[in-house]
Amino acid sequence: MNKAQVWLEKTLQYQFQDVDLFKRALTHRSASNKNNERLEFLGDAVLDFIASEIVYKVRPNASEGDLSRLRASLVKDETLAALAIEIGLGEHLILGIGELKTGGNRRDSILADSLEAIFGAVFLDQGFEAAKDLINRAYADRFLKLPNVVDLKDSKTRLQEWLQERKMALPNYELTNVSGKDHEQRFIVTCMVTDRQVSTHGESTTRRKAEQKAAQKMTELLIEQK
């Protein structure tokens, strides 16, 4: 744990008073029953509150819906995993043999959950203000340089709005193929717009992501045909 403690102090300027809390935050369920799942639950709530406060202050004229989208862009797994990679969290995770062999320390979901667990552990260790300070350091200018709300609409939403504006039927999504082992599956989804008799395909590691890719391709195709 000494190496992990030095890393945390160097990257996020934090020292745990209760080192056992820190160890648990780094421990995946594949390694021990004393793992970070409960801390992740707590950290998720702490992060949600802090992110909500930030977007509320930074975007004073934003609607409730826009604030929700901004917050979602900050707390989603992709953002958390990117942060975890930037600070080198994966090198210090405590994983079971199976997860180690399959590269669990590089998996987005594990990285995101572990970072949230650290947020939760800091909250328990030294309170809300300590957790808030650490989260602000972790996010740095991400809190200040929030994206344009229009850019936060996902591909399926943009496609739906494009079709609705033209009084066209909504698209249909069909899962057409699933391949690979359980921990590395690939999903292929077909997106169909019957009014134009066209279809596109999206492939990714989850059905949701595959749908988003298919929708993006469909929007691009329809705009080209316009």
Residue 40 annotated as catalytic: no
Measured in degrees and rounded to the nearest 5, phi and psi for residue 163 equal -70, -40
**Of 40, 44, 99, 211, catalytic:** 44
The 3-state secondary structure of the chain, one letter per residue: CHHHHHHHHHHHCCCCCCHHHHHHHHECCCCCCCCCHHHHHHHHHHHHHHHHHHHHHHCCCCCHHHHHHHHHHHHCHHHHHHHHHHHCHHHHCECCHHHHHCCHHHCHHHHHHHHHHHHHHHHHHHCHHHHHHHHHHHHHHHCCCCCCHHHHCCHHHHHHHHHHHCCCCCCEEEEEEEECCHHHCEEEEEEEECCCCEEEEEEECCHHHHHHHHHHHHHHHHHHHC
Residue 44 annotated as catalytic: yes
Query: How does 14-48 read in b/e, with b if 16+ C-beta sit within 10 Å?
Result: bebeeeebbbbbbbbebbeeebbeebbebbbebbe
**Of 40, 99, 113, 116, catalytic:** 116
Positions marked active-site: 44, 116
